[in-house]
Amino acid sequence: MHGLPRDIDELLRLYEATIRAAVACEGERCVWKIAHHLWRQRVLAAFKPPQLLSCDEAIAYLGISTSTWKATAARRWEILPVPVEGTHTDRSSKYRFSDVERLFEHRDLVFTRTAKKGFADPVVPGLEAFIAAEAKRIAEEIDNGFVFDVPEHLPQNATQLMAYSPMVAKVIRYRLKYGLPVEDAINDIWVKILNSNVVKKFTRSAAKRMPATLTTDDVLDYLGIDWPEWQEMLATHENPPNPVKGAATSPDAVYKTADIRAIDESGYFRARGVVRILPAACVGPGSFDRYLQQTIEHALKNIFRTLDRRFNKEDTLGEGACIQENRRVRRVDRDSFDTAWEHTLASEAVGADSLIDINRMYERHQLSQRA
């Protein structure tokens, strides 16, 4: 798609005012932090433009002027996209985005003669509103302290996540029950994994797996502050954390993780200017492998519960169900040749119809004795 920012600098140049207005923040560091998370989380990859564009949106996307569009429509209207609604000369007409994008690829050839002032930067329809909404969401998450960058060694997209296919298949084959086809189970589990954003959830829950102690560098990265801000906190805070190793004024000091959590939860560093980074010990590849395996097992358990409920519902609603120790008993098709011999054994329990007949006979016997 044409017109999307190619790097974080271009994102700031084009949409800095949009981000600033969406999050209502002051200062360059706040805007840069929001833009950093927008770019690092690959939020723009999830953007989908509208299928139909108005005439003004098509002109803005092509980066031409209204007079250029009118001149081309008057002289060579056959090269313009066919409108879904209206005509080429109607400003309220609608065009397919796919047709306008194909025209963009030949923009220089089509509009060179009429576009005397050159071409402007393409304006992607709906992108500004999308960036404003995502910036507001990320700002709310930053206020709650949930946003951390996904480390480079973890999968950054669905394609890299698919490299774990052998491990996923191995766990499913080991845990599979109830005769469910392995291929179907693998497909169902992958749908759940991709829809649940497992990498982002792992990153956000990694704060619960931090080691008992943190170095000063890990503390600064985790809190999203720099060294002067940390020294200012040690000098002004009423109850600053004491290092378990080294001096507080030394960059080589080691602190208890519980003390750093208390400082973070107190909201002392709420106005952070640096992006927060988790310690490497809690986001290692081994931790992600265990987290993904646990996610697969939980998804399989949910599938097994669904099959259990469906199995019990089918077996108790049909004919031939019987009462046996207040449990639901599986019905057996005795005419089937592929049924296991254990299932062909006759039940010794009293059937529901027999119980009704016995009760009626007992009531008649009581009435005859009274007479």
| Model confidence pLDDT, tens digit, residues 137-176 | 888 777 665 667 777 788 877 888 888 888 888 888 887 7
Q: How many domains does the chain have?
A: 3
Q: Helix 28-40 to helix 8-23 angle, to the nearest 10 degrees?
A: 120
Among 277, 294, 317, give the residue marking a domain's end: 277
Residue 93 to residue 231: CA distance in whole angstroms: 62
In a domain, 200, yes or no: no
Which candidate, 84, 14, 24, 30, places its Cα nearest to that of 272? Answer: 30
Q: Which of 15-29, 128-142, 342-356 has the highest mean pLDDT?
A: 128-142
Which tokens go with 68?
């250029």
Residues 107 and 139 in one domain: no
Residues 228 and 260 in one domain: yes
In a domain, 219, yes or no: yes
Yes or no: say if 227 and 251 are a contact pair by the CB < 8 Å rule.
Answer: yes
Structural domain range at position 138: 8-48+127-143
| Model confidence pLDDT, tens digit, residues 5-20 | 888 888 888 888 888 8
Residues 44 and 81 in one domain: no
Residue 199 to residue 213: CA distance in whole angstroms: 25
* Residue showing tokens 């990859």: 45
Q: pLDDT tier at 199 (50, 70, 90 boundaries)?
A: confident
Which residue type occupies 186? I
Q: Which of 73-82, 139-148, 241-250 has the highest mean pLDDT?
A: 241-250
Residues 98 and 135 in one domain: no
Q: Assign residue 132 a region: left if phi > 0, alpha if psi is -120 to 50, beta otherwise?
A: alpha
